[in-house]
Structures are given as structure tokens and as C-alpha cells.
A and B are shown apart, each in its own frame.
Chain A
Amino acid sequence: MKESFSLLEALSKTSTIDKVGVEERVARFQTRSIKNESKMQGLKMALGMIDLTTLEGKDTPGKVKQMCFKAAHLHDQYPDLPTVAAVCVYPSMVKIAKDSLKGHSIEIASVATAFPSGQSTLEIKIADTKFAVGQGATEIDMVISRGKFLQGEYNYVFDEIASIKEACGHARLKVILETGELVTLDNVRKASDLAILAGADFIKTSTGKIQPAATMQVTYVMLMAIKDYYDATGKMVGMKPAGGISTSKLALHNLVMVNEILGPKWLNKDWFRFGASSLANDILMQILKTQTGIYQSADYFTID
């Protein structure tokens, strides 16, 4: 009883969010000019922050192996490119990914906890998580129970996150809020605070299955939650916008926002990720364009 009281108290201190004000602030990030050298650095940085993702019912070992090869060999014709930060797959594909990426420093992320709906029991979610970690996942992307959250059962959601965190062991935990289902920015902020307090290593916007996903407004609100927590405790929490970020420009706008809100400490793959499947090729296209001055046809970049 005592603990639940303090959680409610903590959440009630979360200030409300004014949507119009957020939109205006976010628009400013989009007019910052990133060119030439800064742009090249930003593009490479974004490339190295990608969680290359396949989360489909029709995923097979073949598909996952091919994507893993791409993750480690983004565009070998161009020297000194980073690899992506991680691959993100279903638990049943973790072992395939692990074997495919032997010898590489690419993290293996796995969704768990009855992804994407989260509509299952805690026991099954814990088992799901432990299975993924046992198969070799180094990062777990869990979903919160949005239904419970919208019912106001914050303690349930808190305990669930804390239990999954425990089940993760050494694997880092990313907590997906599925902001498209939370609808309001006030809810996004509240869920961010809740996830952070419950022990999230990262907070993540979306599963990619629901629209809208990682809008800049939502990411902004989550970054502010991370900032307030850091200012209060000195502890860093990572951020992962996922879903809907498919262009270099949008990726750079996101990095500008991270830099202006959280600062350069967050500008690396330990603390910031993009969850995306098609972003990598757009960035590669921009990198080659920046280098040669000419856009190359999409067929010069591999699809895996």
C-alpha cells in the first residue's frame, strides 16, 4: 500500500503538456541547418544508431540471416561506415540472428512480452523475456499493457515493467509505450515517467504496428521526461523513437532535438537509437550524394 501511494504521488507531480506549445517548439528544431561536414557526421552517427528491424509474421531464418548480413555490411563499397547498432527480431529468431552476427559487435535486440499487443499474463511475458535472453538477446524491447494504463492501473504497469527488468538480467530493457494508443501527450509523459521509475534502460515510442508512431512531438515529450529525471537523479535513460522515421532529414531533425534537449552525452548508440527498417538505405543514399554530389538510383543500395 505504501509503495503504491508514493508512485501515484510521483506521477501526480508530472506536469501537464500543452500540445500547441510542443508543436511550436518542435518546428524550431526542423529549421536548424545541418550541412556539409556536420551533415556527414550526423548521417554516419544516425546510421550507427539504427536498430535494423524485422518483425513480421512471415519472418523466417532465411529472411533474418539476410538482414543480419546487411546489418554488418551496410555498403561495403564505401569505406569506414559504421554497422547498425543492433538487429531487432522476434524471440524465435534470436538464435538465428546471434549465429549470423558472430564476431560482430552488433547487439541482438528481441521484442518480448506478447509483442505487439501485450495482451497476455505476466507469467507468459516473463517466460517470453527469459526465453529471448536465454537464446542470446542482449537487449529486450518490451511493450507496456496499454489497456491497464488507460484504466488507470499504474501500479500494475509499474510492477510489470519491474518484473520484466528483473527477468532481463544483464540485457538492457527498452520499454515501448505505444504512444499511438496512449493518444494524448499528457499520457505519453505519464507513461514515460512510469517506465523510467520502474527501471527502463531505454524508453521507446512505438511497436511500428500502430499509427501514428514516432512523431517528433511524442519524442520531444519523452526526451523532456528523460531530461527531468536526469536533472533530478543524475541517471541517464536512453531514447528510441521507432516507426515512421524513414528519411535522413527526419533522422537529423531528431538528432538536433536530442542535442538541444539532452546534449552530446546522449548522441551515441548507448543512449539513442532509431527503430527502423528502411532508414538505413536513405541515409546511405544521402552519404553517397554528399560525397559525389549526385543521387544514385535506389537499386545501387541493397534491400535485405
Chain B
Amino acid sequence: MKKSHQDSSSLWNYSPAPESKSHISLKEKYGLYINGKWEKPISGKYFDSINPATEEILAQIAQANDKDVDKAVRAARFAYDSVWSKLSGSERAKYIYRIARLMQERARELAVIETLDGGKPIRESRDIDVPLACNHFFYYAGWADKLEYAFPTRKVESLGVAGQIIPWNFPLLMAAWKIAPALAAGNTVVLKPAETTSLTALKLAEIIHDAGLPPGVVNIVTGFGDTGAAIVNHPDVNKIAFTGSTAVGKLIQKAIATTSKKATLELGGKSANIIFEDAPIDQAVEGIVNGIFFNQGHVCCAGSRLFVQESIAEKVIKKLKQRIETLYVGDPLDKNTDIGAINSKEQLQTIEKYIQIGLNEGAEIYQPQCTLPKKGFFYPPTLFSNVAQSNRIVQEEIFGPVLTIQTFRTIDEVIQKANNTPYGLA
């Protein structure tokens, strides 16, 4: 009765189900999208954008210097003065709506490129990043002609040229987050994507071009930190919108402190998930897994700190360990994959640095038995237990698939500890 009828363990290796790359088109070399045209960089320099899962080069990307940025800002200013600020809200909405529709039509292509360039699982770029990005354009298209009614007794005005600098964790979605509301409110845009993930922003430039947006309303300049600095420091930019690290956010705030530039900064986080003893534990474990391992933990509001009530800590940690044994780490293009590639070599090194810090601090590490691909930048899901609020791995944002687990006794204690972080986000 008790004998096993066949050895079944080997049968359940899921078959590779990679998303096809046949329908995407990438140029070998991308220029800067300025004033409705693809321009060669004045700097004359290009850099490689690689696939973090294979380390293969996907395309060469123009590296904008301050002269290129100046050209882009001038184009944006001219477009603002001559066209965009003069259009009615309902006219602006038509363009934004058209961009949304064109993005939807090319959703598959955008999803595959996002995964190739950034390393996130295709399941996420296909089901989350790209549809949400489209939805943002739809949503803000709806706002464009309603702004004057949304704030009665106040006059709603555009600012002018918005300089926008976005991170590599949600490249297309962040571009949509920044561009769509700026356009809806009547501003023109100079946007710089992160250097490791320029491609979907450049594809978005193609879409914006196809949508017939007046030249100069949206300009995409690619490059590194110095390109971003050139945008921040340009005297004719009215607003800086930045999402990224806290360190760079502070630099930006310093740089514009003596100017009239406005700013929105969305920076780091070390968010807490709190599990009380009366929680549905199995589903709480799912919540923990989604919170920290979604997008390899490259999420500013990732649930990177876990607080578990002491009465159930052992049980929760055991279940969590069992659960992460079943996560698939590997080819981001495969639809079975739960955890894809770390975005860049630099980020992988940052994660490894923090792991070492955790080990040196005496934290207890747990990683599942999983084989990582030989090429590319991968890191297994990782739990650190036996840590305190004073551990550096608990205080600092790691931005990777690494969870720290603390225990608590009372609700007051845990609320105090959850809020005891310098990060303002989440």
C-alpha cells in the first residue's frame, strides 16, 4: 500500500516556455530623440545596453553631454512656447490618448524588450508593467480637460519644461508615470532613462513620434549620471521629477535649492510587513513572497523588512522557507520564471556586499537549493533571521531579493519599530 508506484520527482521539471523574440525590432544604434528627430549625440559617444540575463549586447545607446541636454531643453522650451501651452486640454488629451492606444497595440513587443533589457520576468512585464503604463496614458488623457474643474477657485497652470530622471526598476512604467501627467497638465518634457534600461523609453519615443506629437514636446536623452546632472542644472528647466536613490535625491535637492525649480522626489524605502498571530498564515506567506521577491526586490516600496509576532514566528519562518524552495529563478523570458535577473552587475555587487555585511553581523542566512544560470546576473531569494533593528541590513535599502525577519511581542512595539526608519517612502 505504501510503496511509491513510480519515481515522479524528475517528471515535474517545467518545460521551458520562453516568450518569442521574433516580433521585436531593435536598432543596432540609438540616437537621442530631440525635437521630433533622431539626433547623433554631440558628445560622439555611445554605450552598450546589455541583457542582464545573458550579458549579450542588445544595442548601442547615445551618451548625451550637457550640449545635447541644452539642445533638448531648447527644443522643449520652443515647443512649450509655440504649441503645447497654447493647446486646449481636450486637444492635448487627443495626443495622449493616441499614445496610449499605440502602446497597447505594441504591448507584446514592449514587454519582451522590457524583460530583455531589464531582467524582470516576462510574467511581470507582460501582466503588470506594460498594461499599467498604457493605463497611465489613458488615465491622464482623461485629466487634461478637467484640471480647471478639479481645483475650483484656483487657476491651474502649466510650469513649462519638466526635466525627468527615471530609474531602472520599472523603466517604461516610470516613463509613463512621468510623461503622461506632465503632458496632460500642459508641460513639455526632457526625460532621461536609466543607463541600464534605455530601450523601452526609446521605443516609447518611436511611439510618440508615430502618434504625431508636435516636435519637441517630448525629448528623450540617454546617458549616465552626468546627463541627469545636466538636466537638473539647466537654467531653463522649471521642474525636476526624479525617482531613484536617496543619495542622488539629496544631491538634486542641494543643486536646485537656490533656484525656483520645483521638484518631486521619489526615493528609497525599507518597508515593513507585519504579521500578527491571528493572520491567515498561508496567505500571509504569499504576501511576504510577493512583497519582497516581486521584480527581484528592485522595488522602492518592497516589503523588505518582515515583523512576525513571536508566538507564530517559528511557524511562519518554516512555511516561508518551504515556499521559497518552490520559486523558479532563471530565464526572465520564460513564463514559468518567478525571479529573473538582477538588473546589472553593479546592483548584484551591491546585494553581495550587503549579504556579507549581514553575515559579518552574525545574522542567520537562508537560501533555497536552486541552481542559478551560469551566465548573467542572478541572485537566489534570501532570508535573514536573528536580526535586530540595529543591524545594517535592517536599516539600509538593499534593493534585491533579500528579506530581514524580526520578531515582536506587542502591537505598540512593532508599530514603533516599523516607523523607526529614516526612509520616507512606504
Cα distance A95–B222 in the bound complex, in angstroms:
79
List, in ascending order, chain A residues with CB within 8 A of B280's CB. 15-18, 21
Q: Is the CB of B1 within 8 A of A270?
A: yes
Q: Is the CB of A224 within 8 A of B4?
A: no
Question: Which chain B residue has the least Cβ–Cβ distance from A21?
Answer: B283
Contact of B14 among A38, A45, A263, A264 (CB under 8 A): A38
Q: Does A267 contact B (CB under 8 A)?
A: yes
List, in ascending order, chain B residues with CB within 8 A of A263's CB. 9
Contact of B4 among A38, A48, A265 (CB under 8 A): A265
With A21-B287, A31-B123, A231-B318 known to touch, is A16 a contact of B12 (CB < 8 Å)? Answer: no
Cα distance A269–B6 in the bound complex, in angstroms:
10
Contact with B along A245-271 (1 / 0, CB 8 A): 000000000011001100111011110
Q: Does A8 contact B (CB under 8 A)?
A: no
Minimum Cβ distance to chain B for residue A169 (Å) = 14
Question: Which chain B residue has the least Cβ–Cβ distance from A172?
Answer: B1
Q: Does A303 contact B (CB under 8 A)?
A: no
Q: Is the CB of B17 within 8 A of A268?
A: no
Cα distance A230–B5 in the bound complex, in angstroms:
20
Contact with A along B5-32 (1 / 0, CB 8 A): 1111101111111000000000000000
Contact with A along B284-323 (1 / 0, CB 8 A): 1011001000000000000000000000000000100000
With A265-B4, A270-B5 known to touch, is A32 a contact of B282 (CB < 8 Å)? Answer: no
Cα distance A234–B37 in the bound complex, in angstroms:
68
Q: Is the CB of B335 within 8 A of A31?
A: yes
Contacting residues of chain B (330-380) with chain A, CB-CB under 8 angstroms: 335-336
Cα distance A20–B282 in the bound complex, in angstroms:
12
Contacting residues of chain A (113-161) with chain B, CB-CB under 8 angstroms: none
Q: Does B264 contact A (CB under 8 A)?
A: no
With A16-B278, A17-B282, A21-B283 known to touch, is A42 a contact of B11 (CB < 8 Å)? Answer: yes
List, in ascending order, chain A residues with CB within 8 A of B7's CB. 264
Minimum Cβ distance to chain B for residue A95 (Å) = 23
List, in ascending order, chain B residues with CB within 8 A of A172's CB. 1
Q: Does A292 contact B (CB under 8 A)?
A: no
Q: Is the CB of A224 within 8 A of B282?
A: yes
Contact of A18 among B6, B12, B283, B318 (CB under 8 A): B283
Minimum Cβ distance to chain B for residue A247 (Å) = 19
Contact of B6 among A35, A231, A259, A268 (CB under 8 A): A268
List, in ascending order, chain B residues with CB within 8 A of A20's CB. 283
List, in ascending order, chain B residues with CB within 8 A of A184's CB. none
Cα distance A24–B290 in the bound complex, in angstroms:
11
Contact with B along A171-183 (1 / 0, CB 8 A): 0100000000000
Cα distance A264–B7 in the bound complex, in angstroms:
8
Q: Does B281 contact A (CB under 8 A)?
A: yes
Cα distance A42–B14 in the bound complex, in angstroms:
11
Minimum Cβ distance to chain A for residue B123 (Å) = 7
Q: Does B389 contact A (CB under 8 A)?
A: no
Q: Does A73 contact B (CB under 8 A)?
A: no
Q: Is the CB of A15 within 8 A of B287?
A: no
Q: Is the CB of B2 within 8 A of A256?
A: no
Q: Does A209 contact B (CB under 8 A)?
A: no
Q: Does A33 contact B (CB under 8 A)?
A: yes
Minimum Cβ distance to chain B for residue A221 (Å) = 8
Question: Which chain B residue has the least Cβ–Cβ distance from A269?
Answer: B5
With A32-B336, A268-B6 known to touch, is A38 a contact of B15 (CB < 8 Å)? Answer: yes
Q: Is the CB of B123 within 8 A of A268?
A: no
List, in ascending order, chain B residues with CB within 8 A of A45's CB. 6, 8, 11
Minimum Cβ distance to chain A for residue B284 (Å) = 8
Q: Is the CB of B11 within 8 A of A270?
A: no
Q: Is the CB of B14 within 8 A of A34?
A: yes
Q: Does B279 contact A (CB under 8 A)?
A: yes
Q: Does A63 contact B (CB under 8 A)?
A: no
List, in ascending order, chain A residues with CB within 8 A of B1's CB. 172, 270
Q: Does B326 contact A (CB under 8 A)?
A: yes
Question: Which chain B residue has the least Cβ–Cβ distance from A268?
Answer: B5
Most buried by A among B2, B13, B282: B282
Contacting residues of chain A (83-115) with chain B, CB-CB under 8 angstroms: none
Q: Does A211 contact B (CB under 8 A)?
A: no
Cα distance A231–B315 in the bound complex, in angstroms:
10
List, in ascending order, chain A residues with CB within 8 A of B4's CB. 265, 268, 270
List, in ascending order, chain B residues with CB within 8 A of A231's CB. 318
List, in ascending order, chain B residues with CB within 8 A of A16's CB. 278-280
Q: Is the CB of B12 within 8 A of A259?
A: yes
Contact with B along A1-37 (1 / 0, CB 8 A): 0000000000000011110111011000001111111
List, in ascending order, chain A residues with CB within 8 A of B326's CB. 260
Minimum Cβ distance to chain A for residue B95 (Å) = 36
Q: Is the CB of A264 within 8 A of B9?
A: yes
Cα distance A42–B282 in the bound complex, in angstroms:
27
Cα distance A218–B286 in the bound complex, in angstroms:
17
Q: Does A41 contact B (CB under 8 A)?
A: yes
Cα distance A256–B9 in the bound complex, in angstroms:
12
Contact of B15 among A24, A33, A224, A260 (CB under 8 A): A33
Contact of B17 among A35, A37, A265 (CB under 8 A): A35
Minimum Cβ distance to chain A for residue B8 (Å) = 4
List, in ascending order, chain A residues with CB within 8 A of B290's CB. 24
Cα distance A148–B318 in the bound complex, in angstroms:
35
Cα distance A269–B4 in the bound complex, in angstroms:
8
List, in ascending order, chain B residues with CB within 8 A of A224's CB. 282
Cα distance A256–B326 in the bound complex, in angstroms:
11
Cα distance A35–B17 in the bound complex, in angstroms:
9
Minimum Cβ distance to chain A for residue B396 (Å) = 30
User: Would you list 14 pairs from A and B whose C-beta atoms are within 8 A, ordered by A residue?
Assistant: A15-B278, A17-B280, A18-B280, A21-B280, A22-B282, A24-B286, A33-B335, A35-B17, A37-B11, A38-B11, A41-B8, A224-B282, A255-B12, A269-B5
Give the interface of A toward B (CB within 8 A): 15-18, 20-22, 24-25, 31-39, 41-42, 45, 48, 172, 224, 231, 255-256, 259-260, 263-265, 267-270
10 additional A-B residue pairs with CB within 8 Å, beyond A21-B280, A34-B15:
A15-B279, A16-B278, A32-B14, A36-B15, A48-B5, A259-B12, A263-B9, A264-B8, A268-B6, A270-B3
